Amino acid sequence: MLSPSALLVLGAGSWGTALALALARRQYPIYLWGKDPAHVHTLQIQRCNQRFLPNAVFPDNLYAITDFVTLMPIVEDIIIVVPSHGFRETLKKIKPYITKNHRLCWATKGLEYQTGLLLHEVARAELGDNIPLAVLSGPSFAGEVAAALPTAVTIAAQDIENAHHVAQLFHQASFRAYTSNDMVGVQIGGAVKNVIAIAAGIADGLKMGANTRAALITRGLSEIVRLGIALGGQRETFMGLAGLGDLVLTCTDNQSRNRRFGYALAQGISLEAAQAQVGQVVEGIHAATITHQLAQQHGVEMPIVNHVNQVLTGQSTPLEAAQALLAREPKPEML
């Protein structure tokens, strides 16, 4: 029998699986849907995500599934954890079954590649104004969440009561959920830090040292703040978990795919080879292009993002990009 308090997690990659494991620790029945039936079948047989989270055994209340349609009348909370390129496609899949009883949260970090829209704008465009929306973001590597290592995230929703509701779903000793009403700031923080993490990976791959890494984090934060405020985000959000917190995490630790991707590029291999080496989603690749375009549209100066974009579009090598950034004129240190 399905319990009325069951939760549906859409996306069975490393982050979807880790969040499903975290929610399962709250004792709800958790249904983890994956797009690829063969992958889901493997999860069902092995009772773990052998490839990315090999040590996290699925508890009895976590079910991997290939069809979510029959669950839609029973669940209220739906959590989307697919890569940003699959976000709208996933919304379109659930749209025919969405009712006023549902709430939607996502933990995807990125912007829509084709339109430059933030994901809450995509969700509103697909689902209308009546479904409560929330976004989960912050410094949170899947492997550590799966292992129940202490983690803190931000849950943002326009309606703070909805943010509290989602935070209560997740909150536990090893997974602290703070609330915010700044969906724009939280999403910009989560999307753009991936681009800065690529820059940090490149700099470390070029053996530029710890001073450079700290400079990239600090100046990268300035870029995030400038763009985020231009788009309507709140300055203090960028000093929090979904801003500075996630930026520091991904720029400094090799669990970050974006950082490892940048590091691989600095070894002189192609974009495709670097992506293949990482073997998982690298959100910063698309985010670099979109962020660069958004910065131009809003007249925001984002030199680090600009040079990462130049590397990714073949206009400069990692070394040339680093040299061009260093050759910039001195200027007052401002956010």
Ligand X SMILES: O=C(CO)COP(=O)(O)O
Ligand Y SMILES: NC(=O)C1=CN([C@@H]2O[C@H](COP(=O)(O)OP(=O)(O)OC[C@H]3O[C@@H](n4cnc5c(N)ncnc54)[C@H](O)[C@@H]3O)[C@@H](O)[C@H]2O)C=CC1
- Shortest approach of ligand Y to residue 323 CB, angstroms? 29
How many angstroms separate the CA atoms of 240 and 192, rounded?
A: 14
Sheet holding 133-137, edge to edge: 62-65, 30-33, 7-10, 77-80, 103-106, 133-137, 151-156, 175-180
Specify whether the CB–CB gap between 251 and 212 falls below 8 A.
Answer: no
Does the annotation place 256 within a ligand binding site?
yes
Q: List the one residue out of 2, 20, 23, 3 whose CA is nearest residue 11.
A: 20
Q: List the one residue out of 167, 196, 8 whose CA is nearest residue 94.
A: 8
The one of ligand Y, ligand X, none whose footprint includes residue 249, by CB under 5 to 8 A per kind, is ligand X
DSSP secondary structure letter of residue 58:
P
- Shortest approach of ligand Y to residue 106 CB, angstroms? 9
Specify whether the CB–CB gap between 64 and 48 falls below 8 A.
Answer: no
Site string for ligand X, 93-112 (x = CB under 6 A): ----------------x---
> 204 vs 283, which CB is nearer to ligand Y?
283
- Shortest approach of ligand Y to residue 334 CB, angstroms? 29
Site string for ligand X, 196-235 (x = CB under 6 A): -x--------------------------------------
Site string for ligand Y, 107-136 (x = CB under 6 A): xxxx--------------------------
Q: Which of 11, 185, 189, 262 binds ligand Y (CB under 6 A)?
A: 11
178 bridge partner residues: 154
The one of ligand Y, ligand X, none whose footprint includes residue 12, by CB under 5 to 8 A per kind, is ligand Y
- Shortest approach of ligand Y to residue 317 CB, angstroms? 26
Report, as residue numbers or ranges, the catalytic residues. Answer: 193
Q: Which of 64, 112, 118, 140 binds ligand Y (CB under 6 A)?
A: 140
> Terminal CA-to-CA distance of the chain, rounded, Å?
55
Site string for ligand Y, 89-108 (x = CB under 6 A): xx----------------xx
Does the annotation place 246 within a ligand binding site?
yes
How many angstroms separate the CA atoms of 7 and 178, rounded?
A: 20
Which residues, in sequence order, are CB contacts of 264 under 8 Å at separation 6+?
A: 201, 205, 273, 274, 277, 278
Does 31 bind ligand Y (CB under 6 A)? Our answer is: no
Specify whether the CB–CB gap between 84 and 112 falls below 8 A.
Answer: yes
DSSP string of 119-131, one letter each residue: HHHHHHHHH-SSS
> 84 vs 180, which CB is nearer to ligand Y?
84
Binding site for ligand Y (CB under 6 A): 11-16, 34-36, 52, 81-84, 86, 89-90, 107-110, 140-142, 280-281, 283
